Every structure is written in structure tokens, then in C-alpha cells.
């Protein structure tokens, strides 16, 4: 797990030049919008905090999944005249095969836990970003996000597509959304009661 974190930090050098300016533009837009609304400072701080947390999370996803190095793998494949066509061994499509293998030989490992937690924050952040989304739509977005990650890793040669990763990532994101929903359901009445 430590190796993944170190690698993720090293990959940030590839990601920050692209996404750093986008993050800066988003913060400027939020500040500009808030200035015209005469709203309270805590709302502004909340929106900026949401942007900062989202930015850090997206950078982490791009680094951990190795999607950040895709441009360099494309250059490498082209310069070495290697194929970018998916080979039969590049995708694991048998559900629960790698999960069963990992559990039999290693028990609960960082691979399983890491895949569960990869999109867990997305389940928390999506309803924060888009309050009009229901649980089904959030689940579909989480599933599609995981699918894009797996397909991109396979196509660009930065990982191996695995149906079990798709299952674990989606399950983790749905658990994150369920936690958000339960917390919102039970925390809001408490705070309302305390303020009255």
C-alpha cells in the first residue's frame, strides 16, 4: 500500500499541470458567483472546501489507477512499435475469480480493500456536487466511472481490466452513497433540534 501511495505522489507531476489550472478556474468561478449573491461566508467556504476535496480526490484517482501516465505510455508504445490492441490475456472477465483467488491465498488484502475504497469517496461527493441525483443515478455514474477506469487502463496499457475491480469499485461507491444518505437522514434532524 505504501508503494502505491509513493507512486501516486510521483505521478502527480504529470497530472497537476493539466488539472491545476482547471481547479483554479473553478475556484475563481465559485468566488465570482458568490460575490454576486450576497450569501454568507460559510457557504462560500463550504463550496471551496468541496472543490479542494474533489480536486485532491480526482488527482488521487488519476495517480492510483495510473491513468495519469497514459500520455507517456502512448508515446512509449508508438516509439517501440507495440500494438495498442487489447490482447486476450489483458482482461479478466470471470466474475469473482480474482477475488476468490486473493481471498484463498492472502485473505483480505490491500487489493480488495483498495478497490472497495477507490470509489467510496465518489459515493459521498456525488450527492454533494449534484443534490438532484437519486440513488439509482448515482449508482449508475459510479458503475460507469469504474468501467471507464478499467477500459482506459486496459486500452492504454497502464493496467489490466478486471471485472472484479469493477464490482468492488462500484460496491465501494454505493456504500459511500449509502453512508452519505444515512448520515444526512439522521444528522439533519439532530442539528435542527439543537438549533431550536
Nearest to 180 by CA among 149, 134, 148: 134
What's the pTM value of the predicted model, to 2 decimals? 0.74
Residues contacting residue 122 through CB under 8 Å, at least 6 positions apart:
57, 141, 142, 145, 173, 176
Indicate whether 141 pLDDT > 60: yes
Cα 85 to chain centroid distance, Å, stands at 26
Nearest to 95 by CA among 160, 144, 162, 161: 162
The residue whose grid cell reads 487502463 is 153
Cell of 24: 483554479
Q: What is the pLDDT of residue 195?
A: 44
Percent with pLDDT over 90 in the chain: 19
Per-residue confidence band for 1, with pLDDT thresholds at 50, 70 and 90: very low
Where is average pLDDT lowest: 106-110, 127-131, 154-158, 173-177? 106-110
Write the pLDDT tens digit of every residue in 94-132. Answer: 898 888 888 888 777 778 888 998 999 999 889 888 888
Per-residue confidence band for 167, with pLDDT thresholds at 50, 70 and 90: very high
CA pair distance 1, 6, nearest whole angstrom: 9
Specify the DSSP element, H or E, that contains 162. strand 161-162
Cβ–Cβ < 8 Å for 102, 112: yes
Write the pLDDT tens digit of every residue in 14-48. Answer: 555 556 666 666 666 666 665 555 556 667 777 77
Amino acid at each position: 500500500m505504501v508503494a502505491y501511495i509513493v507512486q501516486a505522489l510521483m505521478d502527480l507531476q504529470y497530472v497537476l499541470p493539466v488539472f491545476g489550472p482547471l481547479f483554479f478556474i473553478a475556484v475563481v468561478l465559485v468566488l465570482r458567483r458568490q460575490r454576486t449573491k450576497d450569501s454568507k461566508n460559510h457557504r462560500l467556504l463550504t463550496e471551496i472546501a468541496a472543490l479542494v476535496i474533489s480536486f485532491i480526490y480526482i488527482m488521487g484517482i488519476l495517480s492510483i489507477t495510473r491513468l495519469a501516465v497514459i500520455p507517456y505510455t502512448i508515446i512509449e508504445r508508438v516509439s517501440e512499435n507495440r500494438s495498442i490492441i487489447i490482447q486476450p490475456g489483458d482482461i479478466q472477465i470471470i466474475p469473482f475469480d480474482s477475488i476468490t483467488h486473493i481471498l484463498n491465498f492472502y485473505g483480505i488484502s490491500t487489493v480488495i480493500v483498495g478497490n472497495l475504497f477507490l470509489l467510496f469517496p465518489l459515493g459521498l461527493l456525488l450527492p454533494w456536487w449534484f443534490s438532484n441525483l437519486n440513488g439509482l443515478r448515482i449508482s449508475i455514474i459510479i458503475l460507469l466511472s469504474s468501467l471507464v477506469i478499467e477500459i482506459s487502463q486496459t486500452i492504454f496499457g497502464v493496467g489490466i481490466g478486471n471485472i472484479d475491480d469493477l464490482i468492488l469499485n462500484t460496491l465501494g461507491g454505493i456504500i459511500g452513497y449509502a453512508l452519505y444518505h444515512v448520515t444526512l437522514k439522521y444528522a439533519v434532524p439532530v442539528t435542527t433540534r439543537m438549533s431550536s
